[in-house]
Amino acid sequence: MSASNVLRDLDPSPSKPAAPLATVLVADDDRLTRELLANILRSHGYVVETCEDGQEAVERVSRGGIHLALLDIMMPRLSGLEACRLLKGMTNETFLPVVLVTIKTDSASRVEGLKIGADDYVCKPFEEKELVARVEAMLRIKRLHDHVAQARQKLEQMSVHDELTGLYNYRYLHTRLSEEFKRAERYHDPLACAFIDIDQLKARNDSGTRQLGDHIIRSVAELMRACVRDVDVIARYGGEEFLIVLPSTHFGGAVTVAERIWRDVTERRFTIDAQTFHNITVSIGTKDALLRAADGALQQAKRDGGNRICVFQQQGYIYTPALGPPSSSRPPQKGVGGGSAGGR
């Protein structure tokens, strides 16, 4: 946040609301008091909604869009104190300022309200300047709290996601893969993975620009995301390498996923600045040495010229699929293509 924004946030001028178009909920069973509060706040630029009791206030906040709740202590069905307690429990992941309205002699209710989470209070009869100042102060705190929460969320997102592609990063992959290993062993569930490499990306970068390479990586990442299930994990393993973890997937299913990705990328024509690119290499390793076997398969596929799926099982079957309509009945051919992959 810039210095000018900070100064603007801290500007206490009562002539300008702390949060333009902020929506304030006023809950009071007395119609005259409710209308008075609403008119004062509207005259200072706030959007105001009203209700007659605490139960209605809780129901309205649950629908979202409320930035501050102004609750009278004494209300039918649900008092302001009970409504405050419920509202604070409902919004523990966000910050909803709750201001209680009490009479000046009711210090016990004010103390109780502050103990259960109320953020401030105003006393009846109240002064307009004090009321508006307290509302502005609470909304200013809310705005700062929201800025911090957004920054924290962004940092959390960056800590597990690759910035370029939006896929999971290597750090998250390391943790998740260990968890999947343990789960597969505990429940005797199959587990497979696929290494994916974009062929000749360095040559394309050398002949074009870094932006071209980044666009290729993002485009292939989007296509892969569309080829897998929600439970599968796609991570950017390196510069142009990706790893897909396939929980509860046998060898045949892993090869099907690999071929689907290979076929979709190879048959699709990506055009950027009159340049086209395609070709992707996929390999799948066994559970006992999953990453090492998958990476070895990938390297073998690259040595054999790229643009192929290299599959390894304990029997040593290897194959390269052909372009055209996929055939589920075509068996792997021993001695064709080269490379390795496997599944558990």
Q: Which domain holds residue 129?
A: 3-154
SS3 243: strand
pLDDT in tens, 310-320: 765 554 445 55
Residue 144 pLDDT: 92
SS3 195: strand
Pairwise CA distance, residues 341 & 320, whole Å: 12
Q: Of the ranges 90-104, 179-193, 279-293, which one carries the lowest mean pLDDT score?
A: 279-293
Is 164 within the bounds of a domain? no
Residue 72 pLDDT: 93
Residue 94 pLDDT: 84
CB atoms within 10 A of CB 299: 17
Is 318 within the bounds of a domain? no
Residue 53 pLDDT: 92
Tell me: pLDDT of 63 over 60: yes
71 and 119: one domain?
A: yes
Q: Of the ranges 91-105, 180-194, 200-214, 289-303, which one carries the lowest mean pLDDT score?
A: 289-303
| Dihedral pair phi/psi, residue 159, rounded to 5° | -70, -20
Question: What percentage of the chain reaches a pLDDT higher than 90?
Answer: 30
136 and 192: one domain?
A: no
The CATH number given to whatever domain includes residue 24 is 3.40.50.2300
Is 120 within the bounds of a domain? yes
Query: What integer best gives the mean pLDDT of the chain?
Result: 77
In one-letter notation, the amino acid at residue 290 is L
Q: Of the ranges 44-53, 75-84, 206-215, 269-278, which one carries the lowest mean pLDDT score?
A: 269-278
Pairwise CA distance, residues 120 & 98, whole Å: 7
SS3 31: helix
221 and 119: one domain?
A: no
Secondary structure percentages of the chain, helix, strand, coil, to 5: 45, 20, 35
145 and 265: one domain?
A: no
Residue 99 pLDDT: 94
96 and 218: one domain?
A: no
Confidence class for position 113, pLDDT limits 50, 70, 90: confident
Is 132 within the bounds of a domain? yes
Question: What percentage of the chain reaches a pLDDT higher than 70?
Answer: 74
Tell me: pLDDT of 174 over 90: no
Which residues, other chains included, contact 143 with Cβ-Cβ below 8 Å and sequence gap of 6+? 9, 18, 19
Q: Of the ranges 2-16, 134-148, 161-175, which one carries the lowest mean pLDDT score?
A: 2-16
pLDDT in tens, 214-267: 888 888 899 899 999 999 999 998 888 898 998 988 878 888 888 888 888 877
Pairwise CA distance, residues 258 & 244, whole Å: 9
Mean pLDDT confidence for 148-160: 82
Bridge partners of 198, per DSSP, are: 280
Look at residues 154, 187, 219 and tell me which one is the last residue of a structural domain: 154
H or E element in which residue 11 lies? none
- Domain count for the chain, please give it: 2
pLDDT in tens, 114-133: 888 899 989 888 889 999 99
Mean pLDDT confidence for 94-104: 89
Cis check for the bond before 76: say yes or no (omega within 30 of 0). Answer: no
Pairwise CA distance, residues 169 & 271, whole Å: 27
Confidence class for position 344, pLDDT limits 50, 70, 90: very low
Which residues, other chains included, contact 199 with Cβ-Cβ below 8 Å and sequence gap of 6+? 279, 280, 281, 302, 306, 307
141 and 262: one domain?
A: no
Which residues, other chains included, contact 84 with Cβ-Cβ below 8 Å and sequence gap of 6+? 69, 71, 98, 100, 113, 116, 117, 118
63 and 192: one domain?
A: no
Q: Of the ranges 126-130, 158-162, 209-213, 284-288, which one carries the lowest mean pLDDT score?
A: 284-288
Is 333 within the bounds of a domain? no
- Enter the pTM of the model: 0.53
Pairwise CA distance, residues 287 & 103, whole Å: 70
The CATH number given to whatever domain includes residue 195 is 3.30.70.270
174 and 58: one domain?
A: no
pLDDT in tens, 6-53: 334 434 444 444 445 899 999 999 999 999 999 999 999 999 999 999
123 and 177: one domain?
A: no
107 and 216: one domain?
A: no
Nearest-5° Cα angle at 156, 154 to 160: 115
CB atoms within 10 A of CB 284: 32
Query: For residue 21, what are its two tokens?
Result: 């178009």
74 and 9: one domain?
A: yes
Pairwise CA distance, residues 20 & 47, whole Å: 9
208 and 266: one domain?
A: yes
Mean pLDDT confidence for 69-98: 89
Is 161 within the bounds of a domain? no
Residue of 87 and 276 predicted with greater confidence: 87
CB atoms within 10 A of CB 298: 26
Residue 124 pLDDT: 85
Query: For residue 41, what are its two tokens?
Result: 């706040």
